[in-house]
Amino acid sequence: MRFDYDTSYLDAKRLLRYPAQKLAYAALAILLLAAPWLLPKYYVGELTYLFIMAIASLGLMVLSGYTGQVSLGHAAFLAVGAYAHAWLLSQGAPWLLSIALATAISALVGLLLGLPAIRVSGLYLAMVTLAFAILIEHVLGRWKSVTGGFNGLPVGDPVILGANLSGLKSFYFLALISLVLTVAVLINLMRGKTGRAFVGVRDSEAAAASLGIWVAGYKVLAFVISAAVCGFAGALLAHHVRHITPEGFNLLLSLELVLMVTIGGLGSLRGAILGAFLIGMVPALISQIKPLLGDRIAKQFGLEIFFFGLILAIFVLFEPKGLNGRWLKVKAFFDTFPLYRKDVFRRGKTYMKSERYR
Amino acid sequence: MPPEIIANLQLALNGMATGAIYALVALGLVITYKATEVLNFAHGDVLMASAFVAWGLIVGLGLPFWLAALLTVAFAAVLSWQIDARIMRRIVGQPQFAGVMLTIAIAFMLRGLVSMFFGPESRSYPTPWTQQSTHIGPVVVSDLNLVILAVALLLTALIYVFLRRTALGVSIQAASQNQLAAYLSGIRVKRVTSLVWALAGAVSGACGLLLAPIALVDISLWIVVLKALAALVLGGFGSIPGAILGGLLLGLIEQFAGVYLPDGSKDVAAYVVLIATLVLWPRGLLGEAHGRRV
Cβ burial, residue A162 (10 Å; 0-12/13-18/19+): exposed
* Stretch A63-87: mean pLDDT: 93
Domain A44-339 coded CATH 3.20.20: no
* Residues in chain A within 8 Å Cβ distance of B237: 123-124
Residue B292 has pLDDT above 60, yes or no: no
Q: Provide the pLDDT for residue A345.
A: 72
What is the C-alpha separation between A178 and A183, in angstroms, rounded?
9
Tell me whether residues A356 and B230 touch, CB distance under 8 A.
Answer: no
Across the interface, which of B104, B105, B271 has its CB nearest the CB of A131? B271
Q: Provide the pLDDT for residue A350.
A: 58
The answer to whether B163 and B173 have CB atoms below 8 angstroms apart is yes
What is the C-alpha separation between A4 and A227, in angstroms, rounded?
37
Provide the pLDDT confidence category of residue A357 given band limits of 50, 70 and 90: very low
What is the C-alpha separation between A320 and A185, in angstroms, rounded?
27
Beta bridge partners of residue A244, listed in sequence order: A153
CA angle A269, A274, A277 (to 5 degrees): 130
Helix (H, G, I), strand (E, B) or coil at A70: coil
Q: Provide the pLDDT for residue B35.
A: 82
Specify the length of chain B in residues. Answer: 294
pLDDT tens profile A36-74: 999 888 889 999 999 999 999 999 999 999 998 989 999
What is the C-alpha separation between A58 and A52, in angstroms, rounded?
10
Q: How do strand A243-244 and strand A153-154 relate by DSSP bridges?
A: antiparallel
* Stretch A115-137: mean pLDDT: 87
Across the interface, which of A302, A350, A356 has its CB nearest the CB of B113? A302
pLDDT tens profile A256-309: 999 999 999 888 899 999 999 999 888 888 888 877 776 666 556 778 888 899
Tell me whether residues B279 and A358 touch, CB distance under 8 A.
Answer: no
Cβ burial, residue B158 (10 Å; 0-12/13-18/19+): exposed
CA B45 to centroid of chain Cα atoms? 11
Residue A355 has pLDDT above 60, yes or no: no
Q: What is the pLDDT of chain A when averaged over all its residues? A: 87
Across the interface, which of A132, A308, A351 has its CB nearest the CB of B180? A351
pLDDT tens profile B67-90: 999 999 999 999 999 999 998 888
* Stretch B214-219: mean pLDDT: 83
Residue B7 has pLDDT above 90, yes or no: no
Across the interface, which of A130, A297, A309 has its CB nearest the CB of B116? A297
HSE-CB of A201 using CA atoms within 13 angstroms: 28
The alpha-carbon radius of gyration of chain A (Å, integer) is 21
What is the C-alpha separation between A125 and B158, in angstroms, rounded?
32
What is the C-alpha separation between B294 and B277, in angstroms, rounded?
25
pLDDT tens profile A199-250: 999 888 888 999 999 999 999 999 999 999 999 999 999 999 989 988 889 8
* Residues in chain B within 8 Å Cβ distance of A354: 37, 176-178
What is the C-alpha separation between A108 and A129, in angstroms, rounded?
15
**A9–chain B nearest CA distance, Å:** 37
Q: Provide the pLDDT for residue B293.
A: 46
Q: Provide the pLDDT for residue A131.
A: 92
What is the C-alpha separation between A172 and A158, in angstroms, rounded?
12
Longest dimension (CA), chain B: 64
Could you tell me which of A81, A79, A78, A32 has the C-alpha nearest to residue A57? A78
pLDDT tens profile B229-285: 999 989 888 788 888 899 999 999 998 888 888 777 778 888 988 888 888 887 878
Return the axis-axis angle of helices A75-90 and A95-117, rounded to nearest 10°.
150
Which DSSP symbol is given to A349? P
HSE-CB of A240 using CA atoms within 13 angstroms: 25
The answer to whether A27 and A233 have CB atoms below 8 angstroms apart is no
Say which amino acid occupies A75.
A
Tell me whether residues A305 and B96 touch, CB distance under 8 A.
Answer: no
The answer to whether A270 and A327 have CB atoms below 8 angstroms apart is yes
Beta bridge partners of residue A159, listed in sequence order: A164
Provide the pLDDT confidence category of residue A2 given band limits of 50, 70 and 90: low
The CB density around residue B91, as the number of other CB atoms within 10 Å, is 18
Tell me whether residues B100 and A70 touch, CB distance under 8 A.
Answer: yes
* Residues in chain A within 8 Å Cβ distance of B104: 255, 258, 309, 312
Which DSSP symbol is given to A253? H
Q: What is the pLDDT of chain B when averaged over all its residues? A: 86
Picking from A123, A143, A247 by the largest number of B CB atoms within 10 A of its own CB, the best residue to mutate is A123
* Residues in chain B within 8 Å Cβ distance of A351: 92-93, 179-180, 183
Tell me whether residues B264 and A124 touch, CB distance under 8 A.
Answer: no
pTM to 2 decimal places: 0.89
Tell me whether residues B101 and A312 touch, CB distance under 8 A.
Answer: yes
Tell me whether residues B92 and A350 touch, CB distance under 8 A.
Answer: yes
CA angle A32, A35, A38 (to 5 degrees): 155
- Segments making up each domain of chain A, as ranges: 44-339
What is the C-alpha separation between B106 and B126, in angstroms, rounded?
29
What is the C-alpha separation between A141 and A316, in angstroms, rounded?
35
Of the candidate ranges A148-162, A232-246, B42-56, B222-236, the one whose mean pLDDT is the lowest: A148-162
HEC profile of chain B: CCHHHHHHHHHHHHHHHHHHHHHHHHHHHHHHHHHHCCCCCCHHHHHHHHHHHHHHHHHHCCCCHHHHHHHHHHHHHHHHHHHHHHHHHHHCCCCHHHHHHHHHHHHHHHHHHHHHHHCCCCECCCCCCCCCEEEECCEEEEHHHHHHHHHHHHHHHHHHHHHHHCHHHHHHHHHHHCHHHHHHCCCCHHHHHHHHHHHHHHHHHHHHHHHHHHHCECHHHHHHHHHHHHHHHHHCCCCHHHHHHHHHHHHHHHHHHHHHCCCCHHHHHHHHHHHHHHHHCCCCCCCCCCCCCC
CB pairs under 8 A between A and B: 155
Beta bridge partners of residue A164, listed in sequence order: A159
Could you tell me which of B45, B11, B4, B24 has the C-alpha nearest to residue B223? B45
- At A319, phi and psi to the nearest 5? -145, 70
What is the C-alpha separation between B219 and B228, in angstroms, rounded?
17
Q: Provide the pLDDT for residue B217.
A: 85
Specify the length of chain A in residues. Answer: 358
The answer to whether B47 and B224 have CB atoms below 8 angstroms apart is yes
What is the C-alpha separation between B105 and B29, in angstroms, rounded?
17
What is the C-alpha separation between A52 and A56, in angstroms, rounded?
7
Check residues A192 and A352 and name the one with the higher pLDDT.
A192
Picking from A60, A127, A138, A203 by the largest number of B CB atoms within 10 A of its own CB, the best residue to mutate is A127
* Stretch B172-200: mean pLDDT: 87
Residue A356 has pLDDT above 60, yes or no: no
Residue of A nearest to B40 (CA): A123
Say which amino acid occupies B286.
L
Q: Provide the pLDDT for residue A188.
A: 93
Q: Give start and end residues of each alpha helix (H) in chain A.
A: 9-13, 19-38, 41-60, 75-90, 95-117, 123-142, 144-147, 168-191, 193-203, 205-210, 215-241, 251-264, 269-289, 295-298, 302-318, 322-335
The CB density around residue A247, as the number of other CB atoms within 10 Å, is 13
Q: How do strand A163-164 and strand B139-142 relate by DSSP bridges?
A: unpaired
Across the interface, which of A135, A304, A307 has its CB nearest the CB of B272? A135
* Residues in chain A within 8 Å Cβ distance of B270: 131
The CB density around residue A310, as the number of other CB atoms within 10 Å, is 15
Across the interface, which of A123, A310, A357 has its CB nearest the CB of B96? A123
